[in-house]
Each structure stands twice: as C-alpha cells, then as structure tokens.
C-alpha cells in the first residue's frame, strides 16, 4: 500500500474514532441532560428548634447564586403555629454540609431563600432557559443523591401559562407538567432536554379545586419568576423586617368586596394569625381583622407591607388602622426585632367569596 493510502487509512480511523466519541457523548448527554445542574441541587433539612435533634422536614433546594439557596416556603412552615424552621442544614452533591439561615420569604409565590452562614462547596453555574413549550421533555431533580446518582423523574410539559406574577391570575402562571416528583422533590429544579433550568418545582397552593391533587401532575414556577424573587429578596429581606407579632395573607375577592363597601377601597391585608406572646398579642387585634395602614401609610398588598415593616424602627410603637367587622379600629403595637422562628402564612384563600353585605370577619367565621 502506498504512503498516501496508509495516510488516508490512518485519517479514516481517526475520523471513525472521533465520531464514536461524539456519538458516545451525545448518548450520555441524552441519558443525563441535567449533569451541568446536578452540583447545584441540594438537600435541605429543617429543624424547628435551634439545636433540634429530630428533623421537621427534608426537601430539595437549588443553589441559584453562590451563597443563596432557593426552595419552597410551605414545607418549612408549621401550619398550626406558623413557625419557621430555625436550624437549616444544606447537603451538597459531594456530601459536604453547611449551615444556613432564612433570608427572605414570599408567601404569595410560596418561595423561600436561605443564605449560607458558613463556607460551602462552589458549583458551576448552570444554564437557565425561559423557552419552554407544551410537549417538551423535562426532568425534575431532587437533592440527596451523589455525583453518580441524582434522584430524578422524567415527564412532559403539559401547559405553560404566561400571566403576570405580582397581580391577578397568579394561579395560572405555573409550568404544569405530566410528571411525578421524586421523593423530597419540592424545591428542586425543573430541567429541559438541554440541561437548562426552566423552573423550580413547587406545590400549586393557589389552586383550590380538585386539580391540585391529580396524581402525576406537577407545577413549577418559571425561573424568571424565581430570579425576580431573589432580586427583591436581596433588596427587601424579610428576615430583617421589624415584627408586629402578626402573620398576613392577601384578601380574597369576597373580602375585597366587603372592605370596599365599608371603606370605599379594597386595599389591605388579612390578619391570618396572632402570636399570643408577640407584640400584637397584648392588644385586641385578632385573626380576621384587615390591616389597612401602618403609621398612616396604606398597606395595599403584602409586598407594600414588607417594605413598611423594613422601615419600622424596633423599640418604637406603630399605629395600626384595621377593619374589624363593619367598623374601623386603631391599635398601637410595640415594634420588635423579628425572631428567626416567626414564619409567614401559607397562602390559601377561603373557598367562597363573602356574601353581599357580609363583613370580612363574619366571612372568615362562616367557613
């Protein structure tokens, strides 16, 4: 065989070898599309007491930025007394662990941000995508695995709703998938076929119909929504808010209608819970009242209240205007620093609106 033929043959073998490598890589990518994301998926264990021995909950989280882990709020909040987990342990894919603290909570989005309080393993930044369509193949990832075995399930996007985040129609903004989450999968990322994070898996607590419990259906908040929440959390961290000893939720449509009939405005936030050992526990404020203003500034919605609470100096009294039944009342509350266990209400509105002429408090008691 000539030297030219030998050279061509060697080149042919090299080409075949490279094609084999490319084919193997493509096959591996097809079987493991989440590999760039996996190092940023963590397992979060929450304890109700600072030195708790028995974990209250184990869920997943996503290292959205270095030092910040995002997950879902409701699993870390005890519904009975609205207490948040005080001790939080973050376990990374390589087995290392780090302590964290609650940085910010948004009960409307049902999201929570943890800030790492000690050095933790770094992880490569995974790509994100806002481009997801019905029919796309997706994977739900959970923490607690190893580099060789990440808990996951696979499914398909069922619907992608595009309504605004901080406004009406919140229950229609989720990415709905025909997919069953892996164990401890709440709070973990939803990943597309290119290994990009498209959302964070969360219970759709905004739905009050039977669809919420359909087996094999999951919901995820789009990653753009989660990124927006993180931006707001950095500017207005709820862990640094002053504390009134109250937990709030938005008004239901019926409560807004009743408030409008009495006040001529439908703004305000609903007092969902009163801690008896908190500042408001020393007043006449009770669950079912509607907070209308703080020091003369209107509390039009929860995010406006968040800003007002950040401005209140601890140690000074705050004048609260409330709607109680069919009358307005004023209460003075001593402002305190927010304890780490003071949670936020898990948002679940009443099933039915108030009847015409029925006060907000009567609406609550009739349920």
Are 322 and 290 in contact by the 8 Å Cβ rule? The answer is yes
Of 70-79, 120-129, 209-218, the least confident = 209-218
Domain coverage including residue 209: 32-239
- Structural domain count of the chain: 2
Which of the listed residues 204, 239, 274 is the one where a domain comes to its end? 239
| pLDDT at 212 > cutoff 70 | no
pLDDT of residue 360: 34
Mean pLDDT of 109-126: 85
| pLDDT at 290 > cutoff 70 | yes
pLDDT of residue 162: 55
Tell me: do 90 and 159 sit in the same domain: yes
Q: What radius of gyration do the chain's Cα atoms show? A: 25
Q: Is the residue at 19 inside a domain?
A: no
Mean pLDDT of 125-133: 82
CATH (domain of 211): 2.40.10.120
CATH (domain of 280): 2.30.42.10
End-to-end CA distance of the chain: 92
Rounded to two decimals, what is the model's pTM? 0.79
Which of the listed residues 204, 224, 239 is the one where a domain comes to its end? 239
Of 4-8, 117-121, 134-138, the least confident = 4-8
Which of the listed residues 205, 239, 273 is the one where a domain comes to its end? 239
Tell me: do 66 and 169 sit in the same domain: yes
DSSP code per residue over 127-172: PB-S---TT-EEEEE-SS-BTTB--EEEEEEEEE----SSSS-GGG
| pLDDT at 144 > cutoff 50 | yes
């Amino acid at each position: 065989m000539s030297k030219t033929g030998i050279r061509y043959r060697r080149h042919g073998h090299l080409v075949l070898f490279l094609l084999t490598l490319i084919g193997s890589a493509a096959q591996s990518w097809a079987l493991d599309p989440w590999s760039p994301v996996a190092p940023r998926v963590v397992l979060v264990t929450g304890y109700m007491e600072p030195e708790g021995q028995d974990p209250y909950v184990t869920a997943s989280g996503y290292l959205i930025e270095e030092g910040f882990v995002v997950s879902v709020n409701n699993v870390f909040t005890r519904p009975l007394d609205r207490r948040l987990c005080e001790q939080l342990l973050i376990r990374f894919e390589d087995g290392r662990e780090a302590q964290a603290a609650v940085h910010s909570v948004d009960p409307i989005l049902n999201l929570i941000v943890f800030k790492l309080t000690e050095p933790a393993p770094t992880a490569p930044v995974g790509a994100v995508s806002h481009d997801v369509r019905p029919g796309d193949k997706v994977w739900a990832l959970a923490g607690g695995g190893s580099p060789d075995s990440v808990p996951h399930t696979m499914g398909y996007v069922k619907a992608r709703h595009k309504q605004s985040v901080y406004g009406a129609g919140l229950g229609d903004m989720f990415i709905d998938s025909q997919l069953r989450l892996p164990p401890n999968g709440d709070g973990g990322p939803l990943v597309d076929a290119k290994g990009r994070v498209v959302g964070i898996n969360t219970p759709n607590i905004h739905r009050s119909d039977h669809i919420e419990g359909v087996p094999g259906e999951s919901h995820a908040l789009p990653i753009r929504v989660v990124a927006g929440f993180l931006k707001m959390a950095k500017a207005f961290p709820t862990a640094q808010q002053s504390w009134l000893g109250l937990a709030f939720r938005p008004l239901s449509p019926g409560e807004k209608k009743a408030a409008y009939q009495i006040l001529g405005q439908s703004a305000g936030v609903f007092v969902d819970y009163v801690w008896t050992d908190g500042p408001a526990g020393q007043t006449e404020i009770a669950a079912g009242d509607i907070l209308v203003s703080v020091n003369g500034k209107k509390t039009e919605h929860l995010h406006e209240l968040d800003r007002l609470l950040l401005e209140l100096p601890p140690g000074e009294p705050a004048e609260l205007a409330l709607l109680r039944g069919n009358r307005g009342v004023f209460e003075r509350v001593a402002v305190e620093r927010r304890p780490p266990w003071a949670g936020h209400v898990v948002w679940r509105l009443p099933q039915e609106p108030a009847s015409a002429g029925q006060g907000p408090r009567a609406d609550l008691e009739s349920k």
